[in-house]
Structure 1
Amino acid sequence: MMTGRWKSQRTETARLASALTALTALTAPTSLLALLALLSVACAGCAGYQVGADTLFRKDVRTVHVPIFQSDSLRRHLGERLTEAVTRKIDSMSAYRLAAANEADSVLSGRILYDRKAVIAENRFDTPRALEAKLVVQIEWLDRNGLPLTQLNSVVIPDSLVSIAHAENFIPEPGQSLETAHQKAIERLADEIVSQMEARW
């Protein structure tokens, strides 16, 4: 005796088989016409969607000028290293093109507000075992008219300024250093800065 579940599956299989038989019975021009109609309906359903990384970025901005980031830190060359990382990320991850100041649609400027080194863990002799390097950066992305292009609703600072911080842990004993931790933090900050340049949903 056949249960209701098996009966419905058998009915569905029979329907699919009859549809396949009807499709194979069509002549070549008719099947081509049916295929074109099916494709046009499928494409019309996806007309509002866009594909690719270029769709993540603003359409009104094509070029960006990135002056060397200022640094309030006493550690040398952090601003230059962050500027280099940001320009590499813009070049490789975004739809924007780097340009000179007089040719650019927008200017992305930044300042390293401070860097901190803190002890996370010590051994019983109070020798640091794990440390943390933290960088805090403030960016400002303006168009040609001086209007802000970045927006963060949760940060209570002027609309055109966005603060981004990243902390990187390192352990000196196996060979990690403050310099390597800073480089990792700089790379991650550059990713975050370029993601702030994406168009809002």
Structure 2
Amino acid sequence: VVHTPGADSVLRGTVVSEHKNVLSEDINDNPRDIEFVLGFRFHWTDAAGNSLMRPYTVPVADDFLSVTQAASFVPEAGQSVATARFLGLERIANQVVGEMESPW
């Protein structure tokens, strides 16, 4: 990992969405199970600015790949949005690495 000018390739990403959905409630309408959803776009280029993403049959705007990941958490069990966010980001990182390892 080096600064952009000396890099062989550059991976840029942006969180494009982040929201929570209540999956279940108790009889007093308190959330019992909550889903945390993250949306992320990334773009991988070589030093010359050429896309290193594998080709798609459906064009993707600006050669960006969109990734969405969800993780649920249970507040009563001591879990939090931070727990779900970490799990979601970990899953997104695995998807990004998988995309970079894909034959293209």
Q: Settle same-fold status: TM greater than 0.5.
A: yes
The match for 1:122 is 25
The match for 1:39 is none
- CA RMSD, 1 decimal: 1.7
Letter paired with 1:183: F
Contact 1:149 1:160 survives alignment (8 Å): no
**1:68-147 equivalence runs, <5 A:** 98-147=1-50
The answer to whether the aligner puts 1:160 opposite 2:63 as a matched pair is yes
**1:162-181 equivalence runs, <5 A:** 162-181=65-84
Instruction: Kindly provide the CA deviation profile for residues 42-65 of structure 1, in whole angstroms up to 9, marking residues without a partner as x.
Output: xxxxxxxxxxxxxxxxxxxxxxxx
Instruction: Provide the rounded CA distance (Å) in 2 between the counterparts of 1:192 and 1:113.
Output: 16
More helix by share: 1
The match for 2:100 is 197
Instruction: Provide the rounded CA distance (Å) in 2 between the counterparts of 1:106 and 1:185.
Output: 25
Letter paired with 2:61: P
Instruction: Provide the rounded CA distance (Å) in 2 between the counterparts of 1:123 and 1:134.
Output: 22
User: Number of matched residues?
Assistant: 104
SS in 1 for 2:4: coil
SS in 2 for 1:187: helix
Instruction: Provide the rounded CA distance (Å) in 2 between the counterparts of 1:154 and 1:195.
Output: 19
Structure 1 residue 160 displacement after superposition: 1.8
The match for 1:34 is none
Structure 1 residue 154 displacement after superposition: 6.2
Instruction: Provide the rounded CA distance (Å) in 2 between the counterparts of 1:155 and 1:167.
Output: 24
TM-score between the two structures when normalised by the length of structure 1: 0.48
The match for 1:148 is 51
Larger Rg: 1
SS in 2 for 1:102: helix
Contact 1:133 1:168 survives alignment (8 Å): yes
> What's the % identity of the aligned pairs?
36
Structure 1 residue 139 displacement after superposition: 0.1
Structure 1 residue 158 displacement after superposition: 2.2
Alpha-carbon spacing, 1:182–1:165, altered in 2? closer, same or farther (3 Å): same
Instruction: Provide the rounded CA distance (Å) in 2 between the counterparts of 1:165 and 1:115.
Output: 10
Show structure 2 runs of 5+ residues with no match. Answer: none
Higher relative contact order (CA 8 A, sep 6+): 2
TM-score between the two structures when normalised by the length of structure 2: 0.90
